[in-house]
Structure 1
Amino acid sequence: MLNIILLGLPGAGKGTASAPIIDKYHVAHISTGDMFREAMAEETPVGLEAKKYMDAGDLVPDEVTAKLVEERLQKSDVLNGFILDGFPRTTVQAELLDQITERLNKPLSKVISIDVPEDILVERLSARYICKNCGATYNKISNPTKVAGVCDRCGGKEFYQREDDKPEVVKNRLKVNKEMNTPLIDFYDAKGLLTHVNGNQAPEKVFADIEAALAD
């Protein structure tokens, strides 16, 4: 059984790294967003409890989120293991997760931190631009228009950038996330579970490094 947590700042490529792990090891990908939506749709007691907070515009307390995680980790698709994405976000949540994995006898195998220099992350995250006419989304680095300055879909020539994709906003978002991430990295490092992987390389090389870490 392979139970892992992927850590990394926005834009580090956690989603890209998850796909080949799921394919090779047949583990369940558990993201907190999906988990909340499923529990509310199924109207489980914990899902309904979480919905009360969300409907009121309040943050869902750690204990409720932890109950949701525990409920999710008992589903049949977790037999081979799991990748947790978006939980834990704090050391309090990490301690709650320790209690959950102990109760369910599903200890963590590895915590992988995908590391990318901040200037590269700013470049990646602020490279998105949108066609003013039809709303098609492009990325200067990974998905540019076929003809420079011309929308592939509608031929429009005017583009704009969303406020939260602008470099100064991206820098602030990274700063906030780094402040949250650092104590978690220290927490799992102290437990001997942490492995750092260089995320500033081709996706297949990132996966090869993750494979090596999981074989350790």
Structure 2
Amino acid sequence: MTLKNTETAYGTVAKWLHWGVAVLFLAAYASYYYRHWFTESKTPENMTALQIHLSVGISIFVLVLLRIIWRVMNAQPKPEPGTKLEHLAAHLGHYALYGVMIIMPITGYLGTGLGADFFFMFEIPKFEETWLFNFLVVEQLGMTFKEFEKPMDFIHKDIFGAWLAWILILGHFLAALYHHYVKQDNTLIKMTTGK
């Protein structure tokens, strides 16, 4: 197995970035649902779950940026045979997933009214305390944090988090199974064993 991609499979780095983001996405949702289903508001357990959610979200953003850089720097494996419509659907699905993986962490950070204690190692200040907030939101948009927070929360929680991310993830998962069990091609194998 090589670090870089080949014509027939993804390399070790691409695989680790892909599966790392997948695991972190599940961790982000697990910490969110744990917080809302099993803790009382503003308790230490509730705040710990929130800090884990914030830390995981920041990690997803960093890994996705690394993944995009790595993708640009490496040749992609040749696509499996398919119709133009199948290839178009695959490309659109991947672009939509990348969009969600970038927009969700950004809107989560922008709309959170507290700093992130990144895995309890160091503090990342809340957006409201940054010069960028004062410049963009206060000076340019003329908004308070409470006014700015509402659309960010709506995008993060109600549009992307509540249903769009799950639809795209389910579609990605079902497409992988379709390729593996129905078409019986190497699409899934390229991102797993490579054999």
Same-fold call, TM > 0.5?
A: no
Higher percent of residues as strand:
1
Higher percent of residues as helix:
2
TM-score scaled by length of structure 1? 0.28
TM-score scaled by length of structure 2? 0.30
